[in-house]
Amino acid sequence: MKVLVVGGGGREHTLAWKLANDSRKPEIFCAPGNAGTAALGTNVAIKAEDVEALAGWARAQRPDLTVVGPEAPLCGGLVDALEADGLRAFGPNKAAAAIEGSKVFSKDVMTAAGVPCAHSAAFTDPAQALAYLRSQPVPIVVKAEGLAAGKGVYVCGTLAEAEQAIREVMVERKLGKAGQRVLVEECLEGEEASILALVDGENLVMLASSQDHKRVFDGDQGPNTGGMGAYSPAPVITDALWPEIENKVFRPTLDQLRARGIVYKGVLYAGLMVTGEGPKVLEFNCRFGDPETQVVLPRIEGDLIPALEACVDGTLNPDQVAWRPDPCVCVVMASGGYPGEYEKGKKIAGLARAGAKPDTIVFHAGTSVADGAVVTAGGRVLGVTAFGADLPQAVSRAYDAVSAISFAGCQYRKDIAARALARGGA
């Protein structure tokens, strides 16, 4: 069996690792991959965003399954192109991927479906956006409408911060086309969590809860990032909330998409704020989260491929996913300066020593190989992941492995899972 994993980050290394350990022992290809995926299979020198080149490679090589990691190729229609060539692909088609590709479309779907979410208004004119801002209470949230690699959300504590966000996104166009339109939203109060669900068009299986850490510095300070760490399960998602999340978030959204002629297959990711009024949706994503994948997928016992194929075939059922009960923690090690400017090519030491520690896996994100050495090649470099009999042990093991790894300018948060630990999370 041949499996192509599209993408080159920590999520994709985790997917490749999980799939490589499937009982069918598939041959793994990863485009473009990183130094970690190279150890599991064959890296293919095609960028994840190059839909035409990826479709051409798949047309020639005929993989039995393609698993698309990032949002850009999904929103760019890669699944549509593969299916047109008679190839099996896990992920939503272009129309369904708009649930992430357009925040305005997503909000329209949520509103029509009655999904609990923040009140918002959309703008293409910065002057109108600024005028609206000045009529609203703070804190307030400014969101670029399009794809921005996890950096298009500004949580603004003051009016001045919100005005600056509008200028950066709509006037200076720091996020490019993603900022042609913005949403200005009320700021929901509570605790965040992520729930990912496998979907086959009709049926869904919600995966274990997780919580990621978006801000770059300890105590949720500094700018937003793609994610500086995560843990699973997230105790803020109590047993009582699971049916509410399924019946008020996922099912109405999928029903509304179907009413619009859109059949959703793949992963649907709900970023939630657990408020005093219950869970409300912050955003939907059309793919596995990063770094949530690094703590959710390792907790799945046994094979993953049957569940992914069932999503493609419309035969998904809960028995296809079983869970390891032990909590899992991931600490992201990032380049100095991230999420701003940073240097690449820094040699990474200690990877083997860290990976040899008990119940520990080092997932590569922004890495490559130069002159026989693994070096940094991105903002988020590694996701150091560990299990424990309880959450404190998982945290301790993850940081113990982090301490074994070094590269120039390395930065990481020291408080991953702090909220759960403060709750007495086990």
Let me know if residue 103 belongs to a domain: no
- 425 pLDDT exceeds 60? no
Beta 278-285 vs 2-7: how paired, if at all?
unpaired
Percent of the chain exceeding pLDDT 70 equals 99
Tell me, yes or no, whether 304 and 205 share the same domain.
Answer: yes
Q: In the prediction, which pLDDT does 223 show?
A: 87
Let me know if residue 73 belongs to a domain: yes
Alpha-carbon distance of 272 to 280, in angstroms, equals: 6
Tell me, yes or no, whether 148 and 241 share the same domain.
Answer: no
Domain that includes residue 65, residue range = 2-95
Could you say which of 323, 356, 373 is where a domain stops?
Answer: 323
CATH number of the domain residue 358 falls in? 3.90.600.10
Tell me, yes or no, whether 315 and 340 share the same domain.
Answer: no
Each residue's pLDDT tens digit, 288-346: 999 999 999 999 999 999 999 999 999 999 999 999 999 999 999 999 999 999 999 99
Phi, psi of 425 (to 5 degrees): -60, 135
Straight-line distance from the first to the last Cα atom of the chain, in angstroms, rounded to the nearest whole number: 39
Q: In the prediction, which pLDDT does 151 show?
A: 72
Taking the whole predicted model, whether its pTM rises above 0.85 is answered as yes
Let me know if residue 245 belongs to a domain: yes
Q: In the prediction, which pLDDT does 38 show?
A: 98
Out of 96-110, 125-139, 141-155, pick the least confident: 141-155
CATH number of the domain residue 163 falls in? 3.30.1490.20
Tell me, yes or no, whether 312 and 204 share the same domain.
Answer: yes
- 177 pLDDT exceeds 90? no
**Residue 148's pLDDT band (cuts 50, 70, 90):** confident
Tell me, yes or no, whether 207 and 152 share the same domain.
Answer: no
CATH number of the domain residue 40 falls in? 3.40.50.20
**Residue 348's pLDDT band (cuts 50, 70, 90):** very high
Mean pLDDT across the stretch 393-408? 98
Could you say which of 253, 288, 323 is where a domain stops?
Answer: 323
Q: Across the chain, what does the average pLDDT equal? A: 95
Number of domains in the chain: 4
Give the pair of three-digit tokens for residue 234.
Answer: 């997230």
For residue 329, the cross-strand partners are: 231, 386
Tell me, yes or no, whether 205 and 308 share the same domain.
Answer: yes
Let me know if residue 111 belongs to a domain: no
Let me know if residue 164 belongs to a domain: yes
Task: Using alpha carbons only, give the angle 383, 142, 276 rounded to the nearest 5 degrees.
Answer: 80
The three-state (H, E, C) secondary structure of the chain, written as one string: CEEEEEECCHHHHHHHHHHHCCCCCCEEEEEECCHHHHCCCEECCCCCCCHHHHHHHHHHHCCCEEEECCHHHHHCCHHHHHHHCCCCEECCCHHHHHHHHCHHHHHHHHHHHCCCECCEEEECCHHHHHHHHCCCCCCEEEEECCCCCCCCEEEECCHHHHHHHHHHHHHCCCCHHHHCCEEEEECCCCEEEEEEEEEECCCEEECCCEEECCEEEHHHEEEECCCCEEEECCCCCCCCHHHHHHHHHHHHHHHHHHHCCCCCEEEEEEEEEEECCEEEEEEEECCCCCCCHHHHHHHEECCCHHHHHHHHHCCCCHHHCEECCCCEEEEEEECCCCCCCCCCCCECECHHHHHCCCCEEEEECCEEEECCEEEECCCEEEEEEEECCCHHHHHHHHHHHHCCCECCCCECCCCCCHHHHHCCCC
Each residue's pLDDT tens digit, 21-77: 999 999 999 999 999 999 999 999 999 999 999 999 999 999 999 999 999 999 999
Let me know if residue 240 belongs to a domain: yes
Give the residue from 325, 298, 296, 105 showing the smallest Cα distance to 205.
296
Mean pLDDT across the stretch 369-395? 97
Let me know if residue 112 belongs to a domain: no
Tell me, yes or no, whether 228 and 301 share the same domain.
Answer: yes
Tell me, yes or no, whether 360 and 403 share the same domain.
Answer: yes
Whole-number Cα distances in Å, 356 to 3, 14, 91, 361, 400: 27, 17, 33, 8, 11
Q: What is the CA radius of gyration of the chain?
A: 20
Q: Which of 164-168, 175-179, 219-223, 411-415 tops mean pLDDT?
A: 411-415
Give the pair of three-digit tokens for residue 243.
Answer: 């049916």
- 213 pLDDT exceeds 90? yes
Tell me, yes or no, whether 173 and 203 share the same domain.
Answer: no
Tell me, yes or no, whether 253 and 359 share the same domain.
Answer: no
| Of 338 and 153, more confident | 338
Give the torsion through C-alpha atoms of 219, 224, 227, 232, to 10 deg: 50
CATH number of the domain residue 315 falls in? 3.30.470.20
Whole-number Cα distances in Å, 347 to 60, 350, 400: 36, 10, 20
Tell me, yes or no, whether 281 and 357 share the same domain.
Answer: no
**Residue 145's pLDDT band (cuts 50, 70, 90):** confident
Phi, psi of 137 (to 5 degrees): -75, 155
Tell me, yes or no, whether 346 and 403 share the same domain.
Answer: yes
- 147 pLDDT exceeds 90? no
Mean pLDDT across the stretch 358-369? 98
